[in-house]
Structures are given as structure tokens and as C-alpha cells.
Amino acid sequence: MTPRLMGLPQQLQQYVVRPLQHTSPLAFLNPQLQQTRNASILSSLSNSDAYNKRIRRGRGPASGKGKTSGRGHKGQNQHGKVPAGFTGGQTPDIIVHGERGFNNFLAPDMAPVNLSRIQDWIDQKRLDPSKPITVRELAKSNCIHHYKDGVKVLGDGASALKQPIHLVVSRASASAISAIEAVGGTVTTRFYTRAALRHIVAKETHPFISMQWSVDSGPKALLEAAGIEPTPDGVLESTIMKEKGLRYRLPDPTSRRDIEYYRDPAHRGYLSHLLKPSEGPSLFFRAPEERKSAAGVKKEKVLPENRLW
């Protein structure tokens, strides 16, 4: 009995709660089979990415950055800061030779394909002109070799196009659109993501029909070539998903830049049918016709502000 309990009266000692001594149910096993861990294991834990050694300049030759601290001997490069591209006060190289090597990292990485190459694939019977030519057909026939952000059709070799074709791609140049429509074909541009392109090639989603795609999104010749019959309510996405048992839905644009591009009739965007007669593709600026109609006939000289919000 502990000294504290010995000082209590005999009547109160029976009400004192004593801690129970718990014994392990595996105590009968051999002590050699029990797991033991040394406390020094904490000193052996390490993470190679947890600490990056900072370069300490001017701390002796052993550091590799001692003495001149990596600046060299004398001159402007050691004593002061030199602007990028400075060549001693003479005419800068950017003026003599011009800008080179600029890469716009914000621009989408499109797979270019010319009309001459498409016609060559059709002549080899690697593409069927009677059916819609989408990203899936171009990738499966090796007409394009990558499709990171989409496919853009260019007008090189437009004179080689012989028969009408129905293209559904990410983008198309003005010369390619005019050449295809001149022979009776159609061009429709629609929005794709990288994940959607992978699902299209794997036949897990439809190549161009989405929730915002309606009967008016593309020309009737495109739906006839694809064998799709318009529904009374004009919604094709739910019907196609059930008939073909597709796993994924095709996404639609959410950013302002993409929405404005595919709302433009000049780009043959699949959202151009949403525009009103006097409305422009921009979501911020008013079209000239819309500003004049808002001002009225007598007040065309005083136009409203060229903003929607």
C-alpha cells in the first residue's frame, strides 16, 4: 500500500480506485518473438527533397564559389549589374538580327493538317469522304501524329481538293474554310480538352455532340453523313449517349476566350447559332450594328458605351 493510502482511515481505503494492471494477451509467447524497436530509428529517417543546400558565395575555395564568388575578374560583370542582352553600348543584337525564338506558352498546341494531305489520304482510301472526318479518323489513319490540344486545318493545297468533305476539328483557317465550302463541303469547329481527345480516340465519347450541341450547331449535311436523325426537342446528346453506350460526356467551353471563339460565325463555331441578328461573338464589347440599333436612327452620332457590363 502506498504511503498516501496508509494515512487514510480504514473505512475510506476501500473506496479508493486503484489502476488496473493490463497484461498483454500475447504475454505467454516467447519474448524473442516480440517486436522491439530502438529509439535511434528517428535519426535514420531522411527525405532527399526536404532540404536544398543554398549556394553560399565567398566562403572559401572549397565551396566552389569562393574568392570572386563566380563573377570572374574585373570589369562590369563583376562590379555591377548588366542588363540582359547588353553588348557594350553598340547596336543591340535584337535590333540587328530581330527577335528570334519567341514561344507563346499560352497558345494551344494544335496539330496542323493541310488540305493536300487530307486529299492524299482520301486517294489512298485511308479516309472516307462520305462520313464526317473528325479527330478520331485523322488520328487512327495517322494523318496527324499528335493531338495535344486539338487539330487545325490549313489551306495549303486547296486546289487539290476534289470532292466535298465534312470536317469537325478544333480550328480552321479562312483559306481552308473557303476552299472546302467551294466544293460543297462543310467545316465545323468545336471545343476539345486533352482528356476529351483521348476519350474520342478510344471511342469512349462522341467526337462532336455535347450538351450544348443542338440541331442548329452544325450543317444538316454533317448530321446526314453521320447518320444522326434530329430529335423533336433538338437535344441530341442524351439520345446518342444511350444508343451508343458512351462512358463520358464531351465538355463545352467555360472560359471567355474559348466561348467567344466558338460563337464566331467566321470560325464556323458550333455555338454561333446562339447569336442574335445584331449581336457579336464578344461577351464584353458590343458589335457596331448592336450599338447603332441601341442608339436609334436619330442618335447614331452619339453611340452608347462599347461595353456590355
Mean pLDDT in residue range 225-237: 79
Q: How confident is the model at residue 29 (pLDDT cuts 50, 70, 90)?
A: low
CA 231-236-239 angle, to 5 degrees, is 90
Does the pLDDT of residue 7 top 80, yes or no? no
Domains and their CATH numbers in the chain: 111-267 (3.100.10.10), 277-309 (no CATH)
Q: Which of 266, 235, 113, 249 is nearest to 193 (CA)?
A: 249
Provide, rounded to the nearest whole percent, the portion of the chain with pLDDT above 90.
49
Q: Is the pLDDT of residue 150 over 60?
A: yes
Stretch 99-121: mean pLDDT: 90
Separation between Cα atoms, residue 309 and residue 306, nearest integer Å: 9
Mean pLDDT along residues 196-209: 94
Antiparallel, parallel or unpaired: β 171-172 and 151-154 = parallel
Full-prediction pTM beyond 0.75?
Answer: no
> Which whole-number Å values give the CA distances from 74 to 58, 90, 173, in the listed order?
16, 21, 55
- Select from 235, 118, 216 the least CA-distant residue to 167: 118
The reported pLDDT for the residue numbered 289 is: 75
| Residue 301's pLDDT band (cuts 50, 70, 90) | low
Cα angle value 109/110/114 (rounded, 5°): 150
